[in-house]
Structure 1
Amino acid sequence: MSEFDRHVGDYLRMRRALGFNLRREGQVLVQLAAYLEQAGAEHLTTELALRWARLPQNVAPINWAHRLGAARGFATYLKTINPDTEIPAPGLLPASAPRPTPYLWSPTDVGRLLQATHQLRPLLRAVTHEALFGLIAASGMRLGEALGLSRDDVNLTDGLLTIQETKFGHTRLVPLHPTVT
């Protein structure tokens, strides 16, 4: 076991004892230790961390940023043991993937989509999809929220839907237009 392997193991044990999962980070840090050992490195440098982070080919640049982030966390720990360790600065690799431009559905688009559901077979599939797409279009709900609804979440009398466990783990009420109920 190399010195870097030992330090990675100690770092992961310490962080996990603090409640962190670090499953993916643990895997990539073991790879980092092997890379540093193979390179004959005496200490972790920003240049080595960047070279290692960019090793996987044919992956999105965000993956490189995640790998460098794991190396940065480990380097912060390692610097307390070896002062020659360099901590890669944040922002050296892009940390987010470019978001696609959302498509805004016009009333005509929604109408064509709902009309197209009538072509589905069996009939239950057609009416289910029409109801689902109509609900999403009328309420602005996310697909996962609509699929997660139960009968207890629907209050047709007051025209309200209760969304449990939203994207950020909250509960929210969605008012419905009378034409939807």
Structure 2
Amino acid sequence: MKKILLILSLLFLVACSNDEAKYDGAPLKIAVVGDIPKLNNEKIHFEPISLNEFSEDTLHISTNFDAVMITPVMFGEASEDRFVKVYNNSKIPIIFFDSTKRHFPFTRDGLTYETAHWESLNNGSHTTIYLSDVDANKEDAWYFYLKDEKELDTLYKEIFQKIETL
């Protein structure tokens, strides 16, 4: 009887655990400014950093991480003009997770996430990956869409696959 209860409780714990991202590519180390995603995948390692850490030590961040993810709880501060050069000079991709206004409030002077009200900013995407190449004077952005919250694991998988290729 004890074995059955133990097995049932283990199954219950597994069923109630965090979402699992079905990503099976190369291991990725992602610095996160804001809330750490609650998902399970042994190939993805999230490490919290502050905006100041990112802006003050971009060389360390770019050599030790595959990407930087910024989450909605930090959008207000992250969209301040003092960080525009950080994003535009970053050598690694920046994930603006759950940003309906894409990357524009973060990469343009004079805009903040709250003041950027252009209807054209909302292209229906959930998340944007932004990568700037100052030397080539170009920037790239990739958009990821989420139709249903139940497909969040698919969204993460697509984001991680793109990071792996950059």
Structure ranking higher in strand proportion: 2
Please, what TM-score do these two structures have when normalized by structure 2?
Answer: 0.23
Q: Which has the higher helix share?
A: 1
Larger radius of gyration between Structure 1 and Structure 2 = 1
